[in-house]
Amino acid sequence: MHLKPVLSAFAVLLFVSAATAEPMHFRVSEIGCPKACTKVLLGEGEIAFTTAGAFRSVRRKTGALPVLLHSRGGDLPGGLNLGLAFRKTRSSVAVAPGGDCFSACAFALFGGTERKVHRGGQLGVHQVIFAEDGSDPQGRPTFSEKHSAAIIGHLIRYARQMGVSPDVVEIALATPYDENTIFSSRELKRYGIVTSD
């Protein structure tokens, strides 16, 4: 991998999700039952910087299983690290049936060698919150152009390396951080987010 986790230069970089949740945990589950049960590794909760380590630990015990995600987002560097862990382990990654995969979760999913959004699942993105440089008089985070340009450049390179159109980063930047742009089935294919139906 040419990309290294982005952290040290950007102390507090978050994808803010509308709801707070428990940290993401992984467990073996089954889908498709009773007709054709398939074992999967289900990741649910808020992505943290430590989530990639939790995934690797569980995967060592379970072996290679398809990964299903249900997360409203969390820490962006954690999402990128999780995506890199998915790619390194050649994991198949999907949004769980009826599940959500927003903000940092979307970037994590990009790391899957095979990517899918199951029926009823949603994948969405929104603006990055850069909370390193302080805040404006209303308390909203502010950031320097130098840092934002470097981070945006990194996100574009990451998307390209994962086989996803960098247009997804532009769409995220154009979406207010308290909303999500949800991709339609057609858009999921057009932007290379999914590799199968």
List the domain boundaries for the chain: 13-190
User: What's the pLDDT score for residue 32?
Assistant: 82
Q: Phi first, then psi: give them for residue 16, nearest 5 degrees.
A: -90, 130
Bridge-based pairing state of the strands 122-125 and 181-182? antiparallel
The predicted pLDDT at position 4 comes to 37
Amino acid symbol at 99? G
Please say if the pLDDT value at position 104 is more than 70. Answer: yes
Q: What's the half-sphere exposure (Cβ side, CA atoms, 13 Å) at 35?
A: 1
Task: Specify the pLDDT at position 10.
Answer: 31
Q: What is the mean pLDDT of residues 104-121?
A: 97
Specify the higher pLDDT residue, 122 or 33. Answer: 122
Amino acid at 24: M
Task: Report the mean per-residue pLDDT for the chain.
Answer: 84
| Cross-strand partners of 115 | 93
Question: Which pLDDT tens digit goes with each residue over 147-181?
Answer: 677 888 999 999 999 999 999 999 999 999 889 99
Give tens-digit pLDDT for 4-53: 333 322 322 333 333 346 899 999 998 888 888 999 999 999 999 999 99
Q: Which residues contact 184 (CB under 8 A, 6 or more apart)?
A: none
Residue 88 one-letter amino acid: K
Q: Is the peptide bond before 97 cis (omega within 30 degrees of 0)?
A: no
In CATH terms, the superfamily for domain 13-190 is 2-enoyl-CoA Hydratase; Chain A, domain 1 (3.90.226.10)
As a whole number, mean pLDDT of residues 81-86 equals 98
**Taking the CA atoms of the chain, what radius of gyration do you get in angstroms?**
16
